Amino acid sequence: MNNRIKIELVEAINKTKSKAEIFLMPTIYNKEFGWLYTATHDPIKFPSAILYGTWSGILGLNLLKITDNWLQSTKDELVSLLNSYRLADGTFLPKMLIHGKTNKSQEYLKLHCTNYSLGAIIELNPEFDFESPYLNRFLNPDFLKYWLEGRSLLRPWEEGNNIVNVCSYLALLNDNGHPTAKERLYQLLDWHNRVQNPITGGFDNFSSPGYRQHLESLAGAVHNFHLHLYLKEPLGSEELISNWMTKFLPQGRLSACLSLDFVELAVRTLPFSQDPQKVVNALLFHAEHLFKSQRFDGGWPENEFDTPTQAEGFKDDKVSSCSYATWFRLCSLGMIAIVLLGDDSNNWGFRKTLGMGYAPSYWPQLPKNVLIRDLSISEKFAYKINSFKRNFNSNLIKFGSKFL
């Protein structure tokens, strides 16, 4: 039965990949502009979101190994498209967000857009000159110390994005032989080791965290842990984190961000779990939900609560399949396929730069005493009851639907 279930799940994932490929190209690809952010995105009304859609489309197709077959001329054109959003200080940002009203700081937006734009560009052109005077400030140990002191431990998810975006740039410098980049990466690691909260396993100062604070803490910690994975250092609090994944994953209806956050944490902490079978069951339950929630066009919505996608400089008028959400949910399935089902990691093209969609070349081993099997009726019923209770207050999950 073990082998049968594995084969059936791998086949289901392959079918899902094929449908998602069609969504990412040609459905949301626009020859004039690039990739749309959602299936109903009006690029004239919301030009800023073309950047978000384009890096998501490229990285999603890279995950599916489609970009391997592109002509170099095609790759060069797409690098040029992304590079058109580059500012004089070497960062990437849609020009409409420079002076427009936003919910995020300029620093947050620059770090975020730069990391994801470079993530897509590096996959197309590993020799791209990515250096930025704005980001080179983080090579100064005093500046980095001052900046880290300014991180809010009351907003671990938002700060997790800031930190991984800085780490990603420093890792790129290190990969390209910069003499002091690794020192700054270990300076960041030392900060992580000092501020990690033993109550949550994340990077916060919650003293009596409830369910939502645990959710925010661990959803943010995923980003921070990419530094640990890159440096091949332990995450810390692995057993505690693994236990929480058996609470979050059975909800089923998770936003695209939370789906990837919790799948990634579950597979990375699986070897440390006191009950790895329970973690695996939760992952298999979540995979089944991902199969069922894929839309008719091959994509997935940002979240499943009839809330249209929004981002800085973008607001959809109805729920539709979303580029980044589709890429993220495919990442979730890819991690499950590799760790639980023994799929060849070469069948997946996770991004090489740190941030959502990143995965190092090494993967944890599935514990030998764990079975990949059909969930019993009682197990499925328990998960559905858990999902109903949590989703009744959907704000807990909507909380995790914001990408920009």
DSSP at 347: G
Cα separations in angstroms, 303 against 251, 319, 324, 351: 13, 9, 11, 23
- Is 220 part of a structural domain of the chain? no
Distance between terminal CA atoms of the chain?
43
What pLDDT is recorded for position 175?
Answer: 98
- Token output for 314: 């973008």
Contact call for residues 52 and 37 (beta carbons, < 8 A): yes
What pLDDT is recorded for position 123?
Answer: 98
Task: For residue 30, give the amino acid letter.
Answer: N
What pLDDT is recorded for position 392?
Answer: 46
- Is 286 part of a structural domain of the chain? yes
Cα separations in angstroms, 55 against 117, 208, 306, 314, 402: 6, 38, 25, 16, 17
What pLDDT is recorded for position 383?
Answer: 76
pTM: 0.95
CA distance 203 to 226: 13
What is the SS3 assignment for 312?
coil
What pLDDT is recorded for position 112?
Answer: 98
CA 377, chain centre distance (Å) = 32
In which domain, by residue range, is 39 found? 2-133+237-398
What pLDDT is recorded for position 376?
Answer: 75
The enclosing H or E element of 165 equals: helix 156-175
Based on DSSP, count helices (H) and strands (E) in the chain, helices before strands.
15, 4
- Is 182 part of a structural domain of the chain? no
What pLDDT is recorded for position 305?
Answer: 76
Residues 6+ apart with CB under 8 A from 66: 21, 25
Give CA angle at 392 (390, 394), nearest 5°. Answer: 80
- Is 160 part of a structural domain of the chain? no
Give CA angle at 253 (16, 159), nearest 5°. Answer: 100
Contact call for residues 49 and 37 (beta carbons, < 8 A): yes
- Is 386 part of a structural domain of the chain? yes
What pLDDT is recorded for position 402?
Answer: 58
Cα separations in angstroms, 86 against 82, 110, 317: 8, 10, 29
Low-confidence ranges of the chain (pLDDT < 70): 1-2, 385-403
- Is 99 part of a structural domain of the chain? yes
What pLDDT is recorded for position 1?
Answer: 44
* Count of the separate structural domains present in the chain: 1
Tens digit of each residue's pLDDT (9 = 90 or more) over 143-184: 999 999 999 999 999 999 999 999 999 999 999 999 999 999
Give CA angle at 54 (216, 287), nearest 5°. Answer: 50
- Is 52 part of a structural domain of the chain? yes
- Is 168 part of a structural domain of the chain? no
